[in-house]
Structure 1
């Protein structure tokens, strides 16, 4: 069959396609005179497949040793030619072939092929490891051991890939049993220690066996770092790999004194996790945690409190007094104690544990002259104003250089050079959950509240008089409608008195009926009178003395609320009268219980309207703090505390 010309991108534009006859000869490994004649007549160097594979590529992919030997000897230029993916014949042998004598001969005569990279940055050894081709991998690493440490475009070396594959066919063993020295440089750039660390790959898989294998054969690899994760001890601590931490603390002890890009030591990274056992391993090796300060001057309790790691905070506070004492009230470069950081970031469990510890001082001020309670109050207030009350179109970022509005920091001694602008950024505020911030504030309110007057704790911001008058005008109309409705209902109730269903009743039942009727009339007439009084007062102030509208509205609100409560009470007694003498005892009990529950619920909602404004504001704040505090104790802290108790018992049982 004649060949057909094709267009190949790049260097293959002038090449011709390998026809089916040649392809079949290569596949069947038939080295005939006819094949040789066709190859020589048609320039073997220009015969390619659509993806740019030469005849030698095709022969290697099929393992046709006779054809490989003939082409390599007759057309040596084919040996170094690459296809459209920059794969050499050695790449194809690594992926699809075997380490035959012919391939070994090619490697021996052309050692530069071992270091050639394709478009993915893979050397033939990379492809051999990916394909689990143990024979070719052994051949390549024996010829050039350093290639095992060359990185591809993803920063992965063959050694990393072997670990990532779980040491299939024990290829990792072959790669480790070589004599190489660090650092290793490749032709196209840095090899290890740049790129991804195979030790990190073993830690990611939580495979201590591979970790020990690397430590025994190549202990220098334990010192490799990755920009994102730090050294191997940082990474093992960050994922809570206890066995790995134990191994590394023994075999890579110096790694505990290295910091990552964030300026944290491995012990700090461990405190950000919820693995108490990992923190315990560090404290066994380093019983002087006060000496480990990150670049912000924060100790391990700072870090645990900031990240809300209640389990670690609890464990640290239970340690020996000499170990804990230097940590609990230590300040970082911004003057923040662990309690400040827990309060600012809404870490309610950590906050509760710290404020309940007698060694923790509650009123230390930071560089901004704020106590933990004031700091929590500030951030909860700004979170609410910025992301809850403001319309979406107005939620614009606050100036990153000073995100605290001037009226909020008035009176505070603020050093502009020490303002922690990063902590005050809108991005951080948005990340903190409002509910947890308020819960944390409630915990501090009851346990670490500054000794101030109620006026200072609950400031009441009065609205402008013009705005108050406009609101009063609208409230007058609404109140008049409510008072008229209440008056109408109660007047109808006074006319249609509730009657007993059965006229033939005992004297005792009639006496009970009379008593209930008296109470009903008292409540009904009281509600009628109160509503009429409120209506007349509103009309009087509106038409005769407008200057008294504001106090009249305030007084009328209280009177109307009282009338509503009395009206509901009258309804309760009318229901009781209707059920008097009924044989449905269970129905009577259910009706009374439901009525009482709704009565108290209504009274609870109406009560804030009756009491004075200032006291109402204080009471509302106390009630809200109480609600969040009780909710925290019942649903957040109790379940967490129980889990930790069970973990402690389990840990003691193993010991």
Structure 2
């Protein structure tokens, strides 16, 4: 029997079928082998077929359909018609099992045709038989089901996915999508199949949908927005290009956050996508989100430095309206870059002469004021956290363990209540510090240096007490430097004899090498003896006032500090020349790079320490944050580019080597 058509009334189905008995192995074997014998019929009728199930609730008809046993299926459907609409423990009908097992015989189609309710029944996952047919690639049954109920292509399961969405998600397995797109049905209300194609970055499927059903391109999802929003958010350039041709009006729609697709592209750090939008819409000042922010606001806020650089390089007519534009809160792009600690974006903006550095927002704050306020809040939070930790783990605390645990819970509750806003959680403290230092140098309000770096002087009585403790420390350092430099002078003749009698002796016979050696030796002596003299002078200046002139102790300590600093610096120079001597005057210019750097940093610091503490703090502030920013710059920008160039060169060399081997 090839087909069977039986239409039954669901009200006539026995409701006591859950008082079940398990299908034995003999019956299961007969069903699998599709043997419709008299013995099988007798066994089925004797054991009440409506109560025979597998552990997962499948009836004999479920088992027959899943194995494709059409003879058994026809017999059971005609003899026990109430089995047709029974669902197992997962609420699967026989049509669900046929779809998943790839079965689509005339018998199954005939049962589905005569019992239309089977096509719309859902299981525990919310899947109809068409869902399962699409997922498993059962094309024949899928075409049959959608031909009988075109709307079924847009039914949503528990995850909001329709069969059309699943066909796209599965990569158009067996080209089922082509048949589903030909159906005439209303728009789906769940997840958009266009978004599924964009998620997979599959332009072929996207074009197929756009050509067959262009109206689907207009679908939106609450979380993701329209198709252009989603393609822009993941930086899908090919998808954006296609959608701008087929769904041009989508660029003028806003998502739930009030952003246009071009704003979403700015958040995704995709310069190419933003460039595509600007080619189609060369008037970015007209695109403002619900906060009144343009694309430069968004790029600066999310730290998209590559996009900020690209925008700043565009034509003046395009860029000028964006640079100092303010949003609803009065914030310019530089405000947002400073507020969220975007150091690279801040650096690019403050280096542009067209950007106003001292523009104020609605609360009368400049970018520097805002960055300073945020950094103080982070610093206060850090200090509070450390203080709480010290209090909890204080070794002298005699509070019982149970009370401490209770306090910990209360502090956590307090932290939860005073949690920072969501947009502050992504701010990096070190990025914020670098941002503040950049603004300090380039966009700090004009104030007195003494106001920025206040100097609090100790009372004279307190200063004398501090001086007594400092004398011993400085004296120890001075004596150590003197001992080291003295040892260097004592070892010099031995070093010269060793070099003269070494294997390099023939090189010193050359007049050029000998003159070079004498030149390095004289410089070594200059620095070594200079360090020795300065350290001895510092020691004497510390000792003499303590014995005869106590009132000059404070001045003597300050002067001795400078002498010791110079002695250590000269000792470092002597070390460099000793290395050069050991290397027989070889060309190692990198050694003196450190020396020159030391000259540029130590000398101004020593002079400023002697002249003004305010200027010294300014100098150290610029030097510290300057080096820190250069380190970040080299590690984030310069070094990756150099490594990629090196990798490309190595691949080229490898290719040339392979070609030479082939020749």
Aligning the two structures, in what range does the TM-score lie when normalised by the shorter sequence? 0.7 to 0.9
Please tell me whether the aligned partners of residues 23 and 53 of structure 2 are also in contact (alpha carbons under 8 angstroms). Answer: yes
Q: Which residue of 2 aligns with 1:409?
A: none
Aligned residue in 2 for 1:462 = 456
Q: 1:206–1:568: structure 2 CA closer, same or farther, 3 Å change rule?
A: closer
How many angstroms apart in 2 are the aligned matches of 1:642 and 1:520? 38
TM-score, length-normalised on structure 1? Answer: 0.77
Distance in 1, matches of 2:304 and 2:513, equals 65
Give the C-alpha shift of residue 381 in structure 1: 6.0
Per-residue deviation at 1:198? 0.8
SS for the counterpart of 1:206 is coil
* CA 642–361 in structure 1, closer or farther in 2 if over 3 Å, else same: farther
Give 1:298 deviation, angstroms: 0.8
Q: Tell me how far apart the structure 1 counterparts of residues 128 and 462 of structure 2 sit (CA, whole Å).
A: 77
Kindly indicate whether residue 103 of structure 2 is the aligned counterpart of residue 98 of structure 1.
yes
* Corresponding residue of 2:652: none
Residues 391 and 595 of structure 1, relative CA distance in 2, 3 Å threshold? same
> Taking structure 1 as reference, are residues 338 and 598 closer, same or farther at Cα in structure 2, changes over 3 Å only?
closer
Match 1:485 to one of 480, 494, 500: 480
Following TM superposition, by how much is the alpha carbon of 1:230 offset from its aligned partner in structure 2, in angstroms? 1.4
Confirm or deny that 1:175 pairs with 2:176. Answer: no
Answer yes or no: is 1:321 the counterpart of 2:316: yes
Q: CA deviation at 1:363?
A: 1.8
The answer as to 2:137 corresponding to 1:132 is yes
Using the size of structure 2 for normalisation, the TM-score is 0.76
> Which whole-Å deviations, capped at 9, do the CAs of 1:297-323 have from their partners, x for residues lacking one?
211111122222233333333444333
Whether the 8 Å CA contact 1:148–1:175 is kept in 2: the answer is yes
Unaligned runs of 5+ in 2: 1-14, 391-410, 502-508, 644-663
Aligned twin of 2:564: 560
Q: 1:455-499: per-residue Cα shift (whole Å, max 9, x none)?
A: 34x413538769978865653332232223334455667888858
- Structure 1 residues 42, 618: closer, same or farther in 2, change over 3 A? same
Change over 3 Å in CA distance of 1:383–1:73 after alignment to 2: same
Q: CA deviation at 1:640?
A: 9.2
SS at match of 1:260: coil
2:273 pairs with 278, 289, 295, which one? 278
Aligned to 2:80: 75
Matches within 5 A, 1:178-189: 178-182=183-187
Kindly report which structure 2 residues correspond to 1:384-533, keeping only aligned pairs within 5 A, or say none. Answer: 391=386, 422=421, 425=424, 427-429=425-427, 432=428, 434=430, 436-441=431-436, 443-445=438-440, 447-456=442-451, 458-460=452-454, 462=456, 474-489=469-484, 498=493, 501=497, 527=531, 530-533=534-537
CA distance in 2, matches of 1:154, 1:259: 25
In structure 2, do the counterparts of structure 1 residues 471 and 250 end up closer, same or farther at CA, with 3 Å as the change threshold?
Answer: farther
Deviation at 1:509, TM superposition (A): 13
State the SS of the aligned residue for 1:588: coil
For residue 136 of structure 1, report the CA deviation from its aligned partner.
Answer: 1.1
Distance, in Å, in 2 between the alignment partners of 1:48 and 1:494 is: 101
Q: For 1:402-461, what per-residue CA distance to the aligned partner results, in whole angstroms no more than 9, with x for missing partners?
A: 99xxxxxxxxxxxxxxxxx74874x233xx261x445444554554444444334x4135
Quick one: which of 106, 117, 121 aligns to 2:126?
121
Decide whether aligned partners of structure 1 residues 125 and 516 sit closer, same or farther in structure 2, where only a CA change above 3 A counts: closer
Residue correspondence of structure 1 range 220-231 to structure 2 within 5 A: 220-231=215-226
Deviations 1:113-150 (A, max 9, x none): 11212122211111111110011111211222222212
1:60 Cα deviation from its structure 2 partner = 0.3
What is the distance in 1 between the residues matched to 2:336 and 2:426?
Answer: 13
Q: Pick from 290, 297, 302 the counterpart of residue 297 of structure 2.
A: 302
CA contact (8 A) 2:517 2:585 kept: no
- Structure 1 Cα separation of the partners of residues 492 and 290 of structure 2: 79
Q: 1:588 aligns with which of 585, 590, 600?
A: 585
- The offset of 1:525, in angstroms, is 6.6
1:256/1:589 CA distance change after superposition, 3 Å = closer
1:193 equivalent to 2:197? Answer no
How many residue pairs are counted as aligned between the two chains? 593
Whole-Å separation in 1 of the counterparts to 2:73 and 2:623:
87
Listed as ranges, the matches of 1:10-29 within 5 Å are 14-29=19-34
- Residues 37 and 642 from structure 1, CA distance in 2 versus in 1: closer, same or farther, beyond 3 angstroms? same
Give yes or no for the alignment of 1:617 onto 2:617.
Answer: yes
Q: How many Å apart are 1:176 and its aligned residue?
A: 1.9
RMSD of aligned Cα (Å): 4.3
Distance 1:138 1:369, change over 3 A: same
Residue 326 of structure 1: how far off its partner (Å): 2.0
* Shift, 1:555, TM fit: 2.8
Aligned pair in 2 of structure 1 residues 320, 639: CA closer, same or farther (>3 Å)?
farther
Aligned to 1:336: 331
Return the alpha-carbon distance in structure 2 between the equivalents of residues 265 and 223 of structure 1.
15
Runs of 5+ in structure 1 lacking a partner? 1-9, 183-191, 404-420, 644-655
